[in-house]
Structure 1
Amino acid sequence: MTYADLSARLNISREAARSLARRRGLPRSRSDDGKALVSVDLAELRYTPRPRRARRADPIDASIARIEAIKVESFKAEIARLEDVATAYRAVFERERERADRLAVELTQAAAETTAANAWAARLEDEVTALRSDRRPGGTIAGYAARRLGHLAAAIVKADRAATAR
């Protein structure tokens, strides 16, 4: 019988059948087609195959697998940490953006108030200049100055009311 036949009868691999024939010193020969033949009495053989042991994993492969698992876990932890940091930075960014928006509104209001104040200051300077230099014929300087001061006081009161109304 061939090694293939022996392996089928004993329910083992072909290589195991060949090894068994060598260990037991069974007579072997070649057939006409070049295949090895083994002469064996199956009743005498009394062979029970050992249960297959699981192949031991290559320690290097096992180590690489553990390292990869550790890397994956550490990368996941790092990603989670970076997401937390990004969330914190996003909150700070939002807070600062709101603050900048408030400051921009305040700056716009201050610029408008400054422009209005400069216009009133220019008008008041014109009034003061007119008081100092303007003399009309037929009236006293004191009477004219009193009228101009009244107009100036009225303009100041009007400007103050306009500023407090805002």
Structure 2
Amino acid sequence: MCVELLTYADLSSRLNVSREAARALARRRRLPRSRSDGGKAVVSVDLSTLRYTPRPRRARRADPVDASVARIEAVKTEVFKAEIARLEDVATAYRVVFERERERADRLAVELTQAAAEATAANAWATRLEDEVTALRSARHPGGGLAGQAASRLGHLAAAIIQSDRAARR
């Protein structure tokens, strides 16, 4: 039984632990302590009976704030991905509606162009018919009887009306 007087620093180097761990060990085991001439605390310890094996050091825990921030970022990323996917679906649906409406507008533009052309043709026929009626009502043409010219004009007028009616039905 060899008792040695060791400072906390010496005890920590012999046991391969930190100075604070050596001090805590001396307190737990209630080892006798005293002051040296230099004013340092010394511990009376019998190293042969002190069967001490230090616990393996635990890995430092990650900062809980950093871990929480990482979890929040992961959740936000997933939420953002889901929101992006939802918005892409909405955009696709709007695109389909847009395409359908554009095709409808194109068809209506073609129909409007055809209607304008038909209206222009009808106005031309109406003008021609009005000229025919005006000619019938007004002057007598030399070189023929009034009745003969009227009958001829009336025949032309009837033919023009029938022709314009057929053109309107197309």
Partner of 1:113: 118
Tell me the SS of whatever aligns to 2:53.
coil
- Partner secondary structure for residue 95 of structure 2: helix
Question: What TM-score do the two structures reach when normalised by structure 1?
Answer: 0.70
Compared CA separation, residues 100 and 51, structure 1 to 2 (3 A)? same
Equivalent residue, structure 2, for 1:49:
54
List gaps (5 residues or longer) in structure 2: 1-13, 26-46
Name the SS of the counterpart of 1:57 in structure 2. Answer: coil
**Structure with greater proportional strand content:** 2
Give every structure 1 segment of 4 or more consecutive aligned residues whose post-TM-superposition deviation is greater than 4 Å.
Answer: 9-13, 42-47
1:107-154 deviations in Å (ceiling 9; x for gaps): 110011011111111111111111111202353323221110101111
Relative to 1, partners in 2 of residues 1:48 and 1:94: Cα closer, same or farther, differing over 3 Å? same
Unaligned runs of 5+ in 1: 1-8, 21-41
1:135 partner letter: R
Q: Does 1:147 align with 2:152?
A: yes
Alignment correspondent of 1:158: 163
Contact 2:132 2:153 in 1 (8 A): yes
Of structures 1 and 2, the one with the larger relative CO (CA 8 A, separation 6+) is 2
Shift of 1:76: 0.8
Give the whole-Å Cα distance in 2 for the aligned partners of 1:90 and 1:57: 48
Equivalenced residues, count: 164
TM-score calculated relative to the size of structure 2? 0.68
Which residues of 2 match residues 130-145 of structure 1 at below 5 A? 130-145=135-150
User: Which amino acid is the alignment partner of residue 92 of structure 2?
Assistant: T
Letter in 1 for 2:124: A
* Equivalence map 1:77-96=2 (5 Å): 77-96=82-101
**Cα root mean square deviation, aligned:** 3.9
Change in Cα spacing, 1:12 to 1:152, as seen in structure 2 (3 Å) is farther
Quote how far apart the aligned CAs of 1:54 are: 3.0
